Amino acid sequence: MGKSDLLLELYSNLSTTGALAFSSKALVNKMLSFTDMEHAKLVVELGGGDGSITQGIIERLSPEGILLVFEINSSFCESMRKQFPQPNVRIICDSAENMDRYLAGKKADYIVSSLPFIILPKETTDEILSKSRDALSQKGKMVIMTYSFHLKRLFRRFFTHLEVKFTFRNLPPAFVMICH
């Protein structure tokens, strides 16, 4: 799938993608600057989409580090499977709310999310956030990009520590929330 096909897929599925553009390189760099991917053993990405954040994670992850990417859109999954054939990367075409089935008790060092929480059903959001909190290792962090500052209150229900950052270098400008 070329860049224009990926964008068309994004626009055609607004009710589940919740975005008009993919994350910029600047936003990806900002999100990942709050992680130490080089030393991570297990990383989970929620909402892989076109793979823009996936690419950033893979560039930093060691070959021993495992990356699980959850994505519900089968076209995006197919495209990412071609783009990322690395043996330590697994593209899972399933909802992030089922992450516990794939983690089987393993704890993640980082969970990186670009899910459109603002449009997801409340039960789905609660399930994903509660499972993410439970899936993190003791020193683990969840890094979330969002366009809505108000989601901070939602994330606070699940995490005791929350830091908010912002970048203009994305369309639209975005918040990065670091939760643990």
Ligand X SMILES: C[S@@+](CC[C@H](N)C(=O)[O-])C[C@H]1O[C@@H](n2cnc3c(N)ncnc32)[C@H](O)[C@@H]1O
Residues that bind ligand X (CB under 6 A): 16-19, 22-23, 46-50, 52-53, 70-73, 76, 95-97, 114-116, 124
Nearer to ligand X, 110 or 160 (CB): 110
CA-to-CA dists, residue 180 to 21, 36, 111, 127, 155, angstroms: 27, 15, 10, 16, 10
Q: Which residues pair with 66 in a beta bridge?
A: 42
Cβ distance to ligand X smaller for residue 46 or 108: 46
- The residue among 37 and 139 lying less far from ligand X, judged by its C-beta, is 37
Task: Report the residue number whose CB is nearest to ligand X.
Answer: 49
Least CB distance from residue 74 to ligand X, whole Å?
10
| Closer to ligand X by Cβ: residue 70 or 155 | 70
Residue 141, strand partner residues: 110
User: In Å, how far are 89, 97, 123 from 30, measured between CA atoms?
Assistant: 22, 25, 29
Q: How many CB atoms lie within 10 A of CB 84?
A: 19
**Nearest distance from residue 93's CB to ligand X, in Å?**
9
Least distance to ligand X from the beta carbon of 180, Å?
A: 21
Task: Tell me if 70 sits within 8 A of 46, measured CB to CB.
Answer: yes
The CA distance from 97 to 130, in Å, is 9
CB of 104 to ligand X, least distance (A): 18
